[in-house]
Amino acid sequence: MSVSRRQFVTLGAAAGLALADNVATSASPAAAGENRLGGVHIYCLLKGVSPAPFNGFPFSVMFSVWGADAALNGMGWGATVEGGDPVQSYGGASLFSRIFSAHGSVESDLVKLKAIQIFSADRIGQGFPWLIEANLATGAVRGVEVNAEMGTEIVLEGKGVVARI
């Protein structure tokens, strides 16, 4: 069934949601388990694993993405953790805070996101891409910040909350 934007607006919110629900839950292959609608929330205190100068470097990340499993979109936040205390970081004592725009997908238990730092407090990292992999079953999270100019990748890993919402 095809509905124009004008028809969708004319239908109103309730009818539009009913139509969207009907389309999303139809027997079509796209509505099967591999294309589930909803969101994923990721929170983790990551620690640097490479290169060597970043071993143990604490960095807290949080992402919330929404959409079909094959087409997630959302935003994230990250910052160093002052003294290893995430509560203090959220209170404004963090350094090198970042805001991310993210998109990706869920493949089995693995959430794969590509993110761009749309804001970086230190201005150096603004525009740097990040690759995030998070496991829904284990809570394992891996983040890679890519600095193409310097040809480096900072790899951070940890275990946190990875949940469907």
Domain co-membership, 125 together with 63: yes
DSSP string, 10-50: HHHHHHHHHHHHHHHTSSSGGGSGGG-EEEEEEEEEEEEEE
H-assigned helices in the chain: 5-24, 86-88
State the pLDDT at residue 2: 55
Question: How far apart, in Å, are the Cα atoms of 34 and each of 19, 29, 68, 100?
Answer: 21, 9, 9, 26
β-pairing verdict for 37-50 and 110-120? unpaired
Domain co-membership, 60 together with 108: yes
Lowest mean per-residue pLDDT among 106-120, 128-142, 147-161? 147-161
Domain co-membership, 96 together with 151: yes
Per the structure, the count of domains in the chain is 2
- Of the chain, the percentage scoring pLDDT greater than 90 comes to 52
**Domain housing 21:** 1-31
In eight-state DSSP terms, residue 110 is E
Is 108's pLDDT higher than 60?
yes
Alpha carbons 49 and 28: distance in angstroms, whole number: 43
Is 141's pLDDT higher than 60?
yes
Domain co-membership, 83 together with 5: no
Whether the predicted model's global pTM rises above the 0.75 cut: no
What's the rounded mean pLDDT across residues 147-154? 84
Domain co-membership, 79 together with 103: yes
40, 165 contact by CB (below 8 A): yes
Domain co-membership, 45 together with 93: yes
What's the rounded mean pLDDT across residues 106-131? 92
State the pLDDT at residue 26: 34
For residue 102, give every residue at least 6 positions away whose Cβ sits within 8 Å of its Cβ, in sequence order, or none: 63, 65, 72, 73, 74, 75, 76, 113, 114, 115, 116, 132
Domain co-membership, 18 together with 52: no
State the pLDDT at residue 123: 77
Domain co-membership, 4 together with 81: no
State pLDDT tens for residues 29-68. Answer: 444 455 788 999 999 999 999 998 888 888 889 999 999 9
Peptide bond just before 51 cis, omega within 30 deg: yes
Domain co-membership, 42 together with 60: yes
Is 130's pLDDT higher than 90?
yes
- Of the chain, the percentage scoring pLDDT greater than 70 comes to 70
Is 95's pLDDT higher than 80?
no
Domain co-membership, 59 together with 11: no
Domain co-membership, 44 together with 8: no
How high is the mean pLDDT of the chain?
Answer: 79
